[in-house]
Amino acid sequence: MVHNADSGMASDALVRAWRTFGQGAAVAALVSVGTVLTTLGSEPDWKGVLVSCGQAVLTAVVTYAHNKVRPAL
């Protein structure tokens, strides 16, 4: 990866965190749709859906913190 001299580490870490959040949110959405589809006719497992979404958010936070502490070279 090539870094510009004028790009700050904070902005790079934030961009990476948002990208990771987007990827995690997409996977969480797919898992949630799968959960809802497998429970058609009964009450969906909303706790499982929330856990999946929470995992996407937590992954983005950890990615941001990691890139602040140890930025990519």
Does 20 map to a domain? yes
What are the b/e assignments for 22-56, b being 16+ CB within 10 Å? eebbeebeebbeebeeeeeeeeeeeeebeebbeeb
pTM comes to: 0.57
Instruction: Indicate the number of domains in the chain.
Output: 1
* 40 part of a folded domain: yes
Compute CA distances 36 → 56, 57, 62, 73, whole Å.
18, 20, 28, 42
38, 49 contact by CB (below 8 A) = no
Task: Decide if 4 is inside a domain.
Answer: no
The domain in which residue 56 lies consists of 9-69
pLDDT in tens, 15-69: 888 888 888 888 888 887 887 788 787 887 788 778 878 888 888 888 888 878 8
